[in-house]
């Protein structure tokens, strides 16, 4: 049974916790740096990326998580979590930072603002079709050759990755936690 943390500073915390409990993981809600110890993996939830980044800094979690990432902690970022893990944020604020753990450039709200949110099935390698819930979703604009693309979406834009993995770091443009389908979470926990 993997021990998986969910960063619990802002965003879709409760939904990720429920999904992980449903698949049998031991869950830790992470609000303090010391709660990152002894985790097999960590989920950075969707929410508001600049707010989460601010709270990571003010809580003191940021430097500890940077070290954990460098030491190989498996991390899965959904929506805002993907933005926080990306190498480059194309339209972020001047003071916005990221962990630069995934070799991707992302555009915040890349599929449109809140009013343009949508649901569309996504075909995930090794899993099959899962529901994709895209809410102010980041769009991966460029990606490195070492990135494993697990799912793409053609939303009238020629297609972009929406679920990626680079070693032990995963990123997802959509919100798998807002559905009843646990297969994306299972894919992540199976890799731990």
Q: Minimal CA–CA distance to 132: which of 191, 91, 178?
A: 178
Task: Tokens 């679920």: give the residue.
Answer: 163
DSSP bridge partners of 30: 7
Whether 146 is a known active-site residue: answer no
Tally the C-alpha atoms within 13 A of residue 187's C-alpha that lie toward its C-beta: 21
CA atoms of 60 and 81, how far apart (whole Å): 17
Catalytic residue among 16, 79, 155, 185: 79
Catalytic residue among 16, 155, 160, 175: 175
CA atoms of 75 and 70, how far apart (whole Å): 11
Whether 172 is a known active-site residue: answer no
Catalytic residue among 160, 172, 177, 185: 177
DSSP state of 116: G
Q: Which residues does the annotation mark as catalytic?
A: 79, 175, 177
């Amino acid at each position: 049974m993997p021990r998986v943390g969910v960063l619990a500073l802002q965003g879709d915390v409760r939904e990720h916790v429920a999904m992980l409990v449903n698949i049998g993981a031991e869950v830790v809600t992470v609000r303090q740096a010391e709660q990152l110890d002894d985790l097999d993996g960590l989920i950075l939830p969707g929410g508001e990326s600049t707010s989460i980044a601010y709270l990571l800094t003010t809580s003191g979690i940021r430097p500890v998580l940077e070290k954990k990432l460098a030491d190989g902690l498996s991390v899965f970022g959904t929506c805002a979590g993907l933005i926080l893990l990306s190498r480059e944020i194309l339209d972020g604020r001047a003071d916005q930072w990221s962990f630069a753990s995934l070799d991707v450039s992302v555009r915040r709200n890349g599929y449109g603002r809140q009013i343009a949110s949508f649901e569309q099935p996504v075909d995930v390698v090794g899993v099959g079709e899962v529901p994709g819930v895209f809410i102010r979703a980041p769009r991966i604009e460029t990606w490195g050759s070492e990135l494993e693309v697990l799912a793409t979406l053609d939303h009238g834009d020629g297609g972009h990755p929406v679920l990626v993995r680079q070693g032990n770091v995963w990123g997802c443009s959509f919100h798998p936690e807002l559905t009843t389908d646990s297969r994306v979470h299972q894919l992540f926990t199976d890799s731990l």
